[in-house]
Amino acid sequence: MSKLYIAVNHNIFMQFTTNQLFDSRNSLLYIFKWELQAFHQYSGLKYLGVQKHIQNLSKNE
């Protein structure tokens, strides 16, 4: 699944997590949905970390 993550952009992640195709009765799809959400949250945290790093660099100049 990690290969899919690389190819999918922010908007498609949001579509995947809200898509009705993910049925909680199908545990495999449910886990897949959870992993997409977890990856989306991680990406957001990573982005904030990069922004903070850029701010720190600009303060040092």
Q: How do residues 37-56 score in pLDDT, each as one tens digit?
A: 666 666 666 666 666 766 77
Quote the number of domains for the chain.
Answer: 1
* Residue 19, pLDDT score: 46
Owning domain of residue 8 = 2-60
> Which of 4-8, 10-14, 17-21, 55-59 is predicted with the least confidence, judged by mean pLDDT?
4-8
pLDDT tier at 5, thresholds 50, 70, 90: very low
* Stretch 6-21: mean pLDDT: 46
Tokens 């009705």 locate to 20
Dihedral, CA of residue 4, residue 9, residue 13 and residue 16, to nearest 10: -70
Shortest CA distance to 33 belongs to which of 44, 21, 51? 21
pTM of the model: 0.26
